[in-house]
Amino acid sequence: MNKERIIQELRQIFSKQAIIDYCFIIIGAFIMALGVGVFLVDAKVVPGGVSGLAMAVHYLSGNTIPVGLMMWVFNIPLYIWGVRVLGKQFGIRTVVGFTMNSFFIDFVRGRVPGFESIQMHLHPSIVQLRQNDFLLLILTGAVLVGLGLGIIFKFRGTTAGSDVVAAVARKRFGINPGATFMTVDFVVIVLAGIVIHVRHLSGARPALTLTLYAFVLLFVSSRIVDVIIDGFDYARSAFIMSKKTDEISRVITRDFSRGATAFEARGLYKDQKREVLYTVLTRKEITELTRAVKEVDPNAFVIVNNVHEVLGNGFRPRI
């Protein structure tokens, strides 16, 4: 029985979909590492979580302890804690996520033995941004962090750290994960700001200014994560309430080559039974549909909603 279970688990780990997931998790880890290692570490603007804590230790050590290595060290006990409390919820995808992210951060900064010449954070264009266009530097770092983290989450990976703390807090104490993330990130950012202030590392910018930049970074990166996970709105759904649903349904199927579903409903205001049509179209088509519906029935009631993903004929699937 144990042998069969091991074989089944190995098949899941090395299935085609799993390999695709690992590849995208590694890509996401590299993109996130670019944001942290190239744009944020030397700017002394921390992204919160374990990466921000590792950056604070990096500053305390006089820049001698590599950020990526410190992140990996912090994540190992958190990962073990998460597995003990939550079981195998944090599986191999988590190990791949935080290990590759830590490795790539030190790699792009030239802190990996044998690759010391790769110091992307010292590229003249990055240095010029750091000196003359600090806001663009931080925004670029925020976008890269959010993009990389979003890809990792999209393909069912994590970078351990705050994810483990949030999951354990939810199971043990019933605390909302959002509140945990916000608390952890706030504490880490403030702590890093104190370290920068005490060690006089802020340079031309006060530590408080760098801390405020960190909160802007946190907001932008979190919004990018949401966009990657939910996707940009690329379709619209419409509820159509009318006395001429037969004519409208013919317009939908004939003119737009789309399907529609009719529901039996009862309007509470006038206590009348009527049909409600539901259909999904592209953003371009929805404008044409509302115009066509008004031509068929000027009194029709139409509700249009954003749609993030559609699985079915006529729509492109998301990755």
Longest CA–CA separation in the chain, Å: 77
pLDDT at 270: 79
**pLDDT value, residue 317:** 56
Could you give the dihedral angle defined by the CA atoms of residues 50, 55, 57 and 62, in that order, rounded to the nearest 10 degrees? 170
CA-CA-CA-CA dihedral for 146, 149, 150, 156, to nearest 10: -170
pLDDT of residue 128: 94
Alpha-carbon gap, residue 32 to 151, rounded angstroms: 9
Classify 2 in phi/psi space as left (phi over 0), alpha (psi -120 to 50) or beta.
Answer: alpha
Q: How far is the CA of 138 from the CAs of 45, 122, 185, in angstroms?
A: 8, 16, 17
| Residue 318 DSSP label | P
- The predicted model scores a pTM of 0.76
Q: Go through the domains of the chain in sequence order and give each one's CATH number.
A: 2-230 (no CATH), 235-307 (3.30.70.120)
For residues 278 and 307, give the distance between their C-alpha atoms in angstroms, rounded to a whole number: 13
CA distance 216 to 135: 10
- Tens digit of pLDDT per residue, the chain (319 long)? 466 666 666 666 667 778 888 899 999 999 999 999 999 999 999 988 899 999 999 998 888 999 999 999 999 998 888 888 777 656 788 889 999 999 999 999 999 999 999 999 999 999 999 999 999 999 999 999 999 988 988 887 888 888 788 878 877 887 877 678 888 889 999 998 898 888 877 777 888 899 999 999 989 988 888 777 766 656 889 999 988 989 999 999 888 888 899 988 888 877 888 889 999 988 778 888 998 999 999 999 999 988 877 776 666 555 5
Measured CA to CA in angstroms, residue 137 lies from 101, 128, 200 at distances of 20, 9, 21
Token digits of residue 291:
């115009």
pLDDT at 143: 94
Look at residue 230 in the predicted model and tell me its pLDDT: 65
